[in-house]
Structure 1
Amino acid sequence: MMIDKKPIQDMPNKAFGDKHFASEFNTVKKFLLDTSDAINEIPEMIESDFKGIISPTDLAPTSDGTYKPSVSSPDPGTNYPNAGNLKARDGYSTLFYKKGSVWTKSETKIPGDTDKVITHATVVKFLNKKSISKITLSSNINYTYDGTLAILDSTEVHEIIPNGYSISFDAIFSTKIQSDIDYSKPISIVFHKPLSANLKPLAIVVNISEIDNTVPPPKYKVNTAGGTTINTWFESFEFTSHIVGANDCVFNIGMFNSGGVNLIVGNFTVVGQGAAGRWARFTIPESDWVAGQVYSPDGVNIEGVKVKVGSIKPTTLVTGNTASFTLIPI
């Protein structure tokens, strides 16, 4: 970035006789202007005299010019003993300039520094302000901590497919694990290095919800015009595959006594699905009745059907209320 010399140039020179020390003031002003000129020359020299890439292990260059460091790291940065011990920091665009035996550096903060994808490791070091890694486990793992070069207020996110293997942490971490964590499902671990250096690094462990791309089965209920008794007993239906048509359901429901036990019995047939239709039957002991419960009936060719019962039990001790009704989508 160029230094604007105008504010310095606009400062009036002090005349002899002024109550301030005029000669000292004018000397400082000239020094500031000369320094600005020297600094402003650096970008021009950098652009016009680029010599190539330099690594920390290269021999010291002999040619004057601009060199781009090949490796950087978090503060204080990667040291280049072959370039006047200048350092290259993560998150900055850095150039070294050699003139004789003097090395200078130009670095510009990279805007919008995004999460850095790193190779997964069980030693957490916090070498980047923000980083993320992924791994599928093939054995149990234990996380340890090396804070030698840790950046304060930094975060590491580890996305893990555990495959049932366990994950543990050294006591150096302040660990918060989801109470019902399931190691058969994807897990995300968020490591955070607090801004205060004396605080323990934090590890938060939670299951990641997978995107559910399944299409739920359609739900229907009996058209109330067909009979309120039916509708209060069968509240809704779910079919994995069914096309609603007029008068396509035949119901036979009621209560049946068997061996002194009252059984709530339901039979229904969805016609138009082949010669035998699609049918389901379930028998619920009266003591097991739960209003609003979803039941999966028995059936030979009506796989996937679920029935949600209503709040009113049938009272008839014989089968009854047999009729045809229409299902309507809900």
Structure 2
Amino acid sequence: MFRFFLSRRFRFPRLRRSFLPLALIAVLAVVSACGKPQAALVNDKINVVTSFYPLYDFASKIGGAHVNAINVVPAGVEPHDWSPKSRDIQNIKNSQVFVYLGAGFEGWVNDTLESLKSDSKSLVVEAGKGVALIEGTGVAHEHETEHKDEAGHEEEEHNEHAVDPHLWLSPVNAKKIAENIKNALVQADTAHQADYEANFTKLAADLDALHLEFQTKLSTVPKKEIVVTHQSFGYLAKEYGLTQKPIMGLAPDAEPTSKDLQGILQFIKDNDVKYIFFEELVSDKLAKTLAQDAGVQTAVLNPLEGLTEDQIKAGDDYVKVMKNNLNSLVKALQ
């Protein structure tokens, strides 16, 4: 047991940007398979550019027929590792509304907005504004900085209690995020305020129903402890009285030490945990290896940082994926 982990620190696979020829091949493959090019700005609607999937889903539903929503992160790509290309920056610059989450989730946003400050008329919306933030625990690699010690050597400085940016995984927070998006659309396009208000009311009712379903079903499960791949379910756990034990930190590539892994195995044993949860957009290798060592099963718990092409084709959205998450939690916590 643990020979693989104890021999060296495990580096979690990351999605990286490809060289240009590979990128061109990928684009051609997408166009060929789907029969249409990537989304572009249009002249007859309000163009709303969003920084990742949940914001895109909410903007699309609230905007309805009046909005052309563009999600800059492609399907199947984990957004922690993504950064905008020139076309994405041009779309942001020329859109009527640009929506990002905030709370440090999009590491590229501040520099991008600073570069466009004097050259863009887009209404910029921090969708997570007004949501009470919680701290994460452990090393959060996306918040690393470098400094020099007295001898002039570069050192990494880790924030051990970085803010957890995964606000949207609480349906209560999701409703506030959606409200912020609705207010921005009303500001950008007052002529269609009534439609935006009506669409938001419908979405808010769906999110309220989702919250009630989570409350009802999770209040009756005998167990409350979950083991997850990376530390993204803090808001969900806080909302419904669960305890999450993450293998990774706030970023899905944060590396667990052998001591961390031993602690997770002990947590699994102490709490009679039967499942380790992994997510679709990052490798499941570590979760499955750890599950094998612990003698437990694995299952998907989706942090909704993005959807796969198959999920999009199946018509999945925030509410549907969250209901799937609830079903997985109920099954695991028996």
When normalised by structure 1's length, the TM-score is 0.21
Higher relative contact order (CA 8 A, sep 6+): 2
Higher strand residue share: 1
When normalised by structure 2's length, the TM-score is 0.20
Higher helix residue share: 2
